[in-house]
A and B are shown apart, each in its own frame.
Chain A
């Protein structure tokens, strides 16, 4: 078999040399079609990516419909509860021992001073979160570790830095045990993360799904200890009562916390759903939760769908890219047929010398297959250029540093797409002309010589 294939490839190369212009046109068409598809598919894939797929069906976002009885939280999706929870509801649900891990958190904008830049304060973003965050989302540590669950309640003066922040403050050295001034308070560093940038940022999509991760993490107790309204994250209220103190705010129906739980099996999931429903009923009877019951535990993949991380634009682009590929392949079929008729006398001679129809079919298919393979190689090259262009289009400076940049990079997946598309193209564009090649009447072409 390999010798036969080698023979077919040699024949194909010979035929390419006979009609270089036509061959180049076919390769270019396939390459363009494939490259446009790779670019759109890569961007689509990145947006549809599940960054924690190995745990996706054990991690659940917790949402309750605590919203205005007269209007849904999101008019575009009236079936969904608000995508964050209130402080009081989170506080109650945190007391449940059913989840293996539970996280309540929010984002703030703060000021840090210390390290090599002693005394010179600089801005940073902080995630105020419960201790389970690092274990739940499999966050990698470079040095040290997170804090204990008991540190949350005590608002212990501890902080975990991101790798980038540690590089900025301490030049990348092991800073565990050193102190920094965070919002003018002394905190001790207990851990430094390794590079960690899940895209989309599934655990908090409130500021857009392609935002970068935070610069630092502190225990959840600071939410209350700081005595200050959250600043930097999204706070949504539908006030039916005036808020006149920080305590009022904490007990209000404003939603501003993201809540996730890890439920290892269906049984624990059902039990926790039961806790949610019982809590809802109790609160409903006291006058809260006047909207229809809508307590949701949503796993990561469903969450990404509900929060519309994949834009409609992404889908339309994929459809248009494939239409383009179809046009390119139709072109290739047409050109392959033209080439075939040009070379019919050759085929006639081979048939007369004893080649079977099947052999001619295989040979013609090899030829188109080779063209599609060359097209895929060139197409992968074009796609790499195209994706670089897409990154340039999305470069929005500090707003999306990391974010969209990561959306569109050429990698093994892109190469895999190129190969798959090449096979599809070869079959789509090659079978019919090859079949026609096998059915050419040899006598006719021998006669005309």
Chain B
């Protein structure tokens, strides 16, 4: 490329610098926003480990001494399990994704040596795993005779003799070993034997999604004051069964109220809401930034074409082909875009570094930078295509006309 190509750019230096800055900022926004969105999408698309699309939960709360826990539980479970379209139903102490629930600290030794490991526990009965749709990998589910009565004030902190854990727990506590048959200990040294291993599953996420798969199931009926019935339906029948279940439970026992019947999807939505919204917002703003930068390139090029119409005509009259004119404008724009991209690389890396330091985001993946560069290059060429084509269509006779 000979240097004369660059001369028109230098003639409108201010305009060129402005567009270079726009392209640079656009690249920095594009690369870092895409990187953040990719993290969020990864979080949102990670498997939940359960059949969450076909699950619902109902909270039953008693409020009078007349209430009979056992009778109510048996009647409700018999109804739910007998309902056509229900795969499994279990009483549980908290809904998955609900931020609530219980956590218990455990150790691999009875003397609480070393830091505690925090388990997010679900209290449920023999249909627990089935109602979640959890995948059993090794060992077995609880048997009906293993299920303990609900805790009372007298045994509030009592541990359970058997427990089922996720792979994440197994890997953290007993790396590389077969965990079925191993013992873990609570804060007073009481042991529980691991009888089953299940695939990772999101628990109640009391601390958000970080470490949400450190989940265990314990064989105990839940709750002192309320019971959540977790119901798993046949695929696609959840919405049809929900109002039927709600109507029946609400009317079947005057000594309690059904506070709500909800789909598990709603909890899931809430848990992922901020990630979801952040992703949407970033995509929208990034698109706007790219549009603005493209508009800047388009404007610069169009202005340049309109102020050089006579010059183009002269060139054409002197023998330049249409293609030569088109190429001249495309090359000019490519030079500006490239300069902007070069500056943008520096800004992108600086911003990426700042984000990873200030907000503990993972370090920017350089593939995203390369992708962003290619994207902006393409956008730059597309943005000037129209003005450049218009330039190439200028008739040589224009050179002979006066304004």
Answer whether A and B are interacting partners: yes
- Which A residues form the contact surface with B (CB < 8 A)? 25, 29, 32-33, 36, 68, 70-71, 109-111, 121-123, 183-184, 207-208, 228-229, 231, 237-246, 248-249, 311-313, 315-317, 320-321, 323-324, 326-328, 330-331, 333-335, 337-338, 341, 390, 393-394, 396-400, 432, 436
Bound together, the chains give a CA A390 to CA B284 distance in angstroms of 12
Residues of A within 8 A of B21 (CB): 330
Q: Is the interface of B mostly helix, strand, loop or mixed?
A: helix
Bound together, the chains give a CA A318 to CA B303 distance in angstroms of 33
Interface pair B105/A393, CB less than 8 Å apart: no
Bound together, the chains give a CA A71 to CA B273 distance in angstroms of 31
Bound together, the chains give a CA A337 to CA B13 distance in angstroms of 11
Residues of B13-40 whose CB lies within 8 A of A: 14-15, 18-19, 21-22, 25-26, 28-29, 33, 36
Report A212 CB to chain B, min CB distance, Å.
14
Residues of B within 8 A of A249 (CB): 153, 156
Bound together, the chains give a CA A240 to CA B155 distance in angstroms of 15
Bound together, the chains give a CA A70 to CA B358 distance in angstroms of 28
Bound together, the chains give a CA A36 to CA B299 distance in angstroms of 22
Interface pair B157/A239, CB less than 8 Å apart: yes
Interface pair B65/A228, CB less than 8 Å apart: no
Residue in chain B with minimal CB distance to A237: B157
Interface pair B63/A183, CB less than 8 Å apart: yes
Closest 10 CB pairs of A and B: A111-B63, A123-B259, A184-B64, A334-B18, A338-B303, A312-B359, A243-B156, A231-B225, A243-B157, A327-B292
Bound together, the chains give a CA A233 to CA B280 distance in angstroms of 32
Residues of B within 8 A of A311 (CB): 274
Residues of B within 8 A of A321 (CB): 285
Residues of B within 8 A of A324 (CB): 29, 285, 288-289, 292
Across chains A and B, the number of contacting residue pairs, with CB separation under 8 Å, is: 151
Interface pair A29/B295, CB less than 8 Å apart: yes
Interface pair B188/A123, CB less than 8 Å apart: no
Interface pair B154/A326, CB less than 8 Å apart: no
Residues of B within 8 A of A242 (CB): 157-158, 188
Provide a sorted-by-A list of 7 A–B residue pairs whose CB atoms are within 8 angstroms.
A71-B115, A327-B26, A327-B29, A331-B18, A338-B299, A396-B266, A400-B270
Interface pair A229/B270, CB less than 8 Å apart: no
B187 at interface (Cβ–Cβ under 8 A)?
Answer: yes
Interface pair B188/A241, CB less than 8 Å apart: yes
Interface pair A331/B292, CB less than 8 Å apart: yes
Bound together, the chains give a CA A399 to CA B266 distance in angstroms of 9
Bound together, the chains give a CA A25 to CA B151 distance in angstroms of 69
Bound together, the chains give a CA A436 to CA B226 distance in angstroms of 74
B230 at interface (Cβ–Cβ under 8 A)?
Answer: no
Bound together, the chains give a CA A240 to CA B107 distance in angstroms of 13
Residues of A within 8 A of B18 (CB): 330-331, 333-334, 337
Bound together, the chains give a CA A183 to CA B257 distance in angstroms of 11
- Which B residues form the contact surface with A (CB < 8 A)? 14-15, 18-19, 21-22, 25-26, 28-29, 33, 36, 61, 63-65, 99, 105, 112, 115-116, 153-158, 187-188, 224-226, 257, 259-260, 266, 269-270, 273-274, 276-278, 280-282, 285, 288-289, 292-293, 295-296, 299-300, 303, 307, 355, 358-359
A321-B285, A397-B266 are contacts. A231–B224 as well, Cβ < 8 Å? Answer: yes
Residues of A within 8 A of B303 (CB): 338
A32-B292, A323-B289 are contacts. A330–B22 as well, Cβ < 8 Å? Answer: yes
Per a CB cutoff under 8 Å, which of B26, B153, B154, B278 touches A317?
A: B278
Interface pair B285/A320, CB less than 8 Å apart: yes
Per a CB cutoff under 8 Å, which of A237, A245, A330, A400 touches B153?
A: A245
Per a CB cutoff under 8 Å, which of A33, A183, A396 touches B270?
A: A396
A32-B292, A338-B15 are contacts. A121–B63 as well, Cβ < 8 Å? Answer: yes
Residues of B within 8 A of A207 (CB): 99
A123-B61, A333-B18 are contacts. A323–B188 as well, Cβ < 8 Å? Answer: no
Residue in chain B with minimal CB distance to A404: B273
Interface pair B289/A244, CB less than 8 Å apart: no
Bound together, the chains give a CA A231 to CA B259 distance in angstroms of 14
Residue in chain B with minimal CB distance to A33: B292
Report A121 CB to chain B, min CB distance, Å.
5
Interface pair A335/B257, CB less than 8 Å apart: no
Residues of A within 8 A of B105 (CB): 238
Report B396 CB to chain A, min CB distance, Å.
23
Interface pair B285/A36, CB less than 8 Å apart: yes
Residue in chain A with minimal CB distance to B266: A397
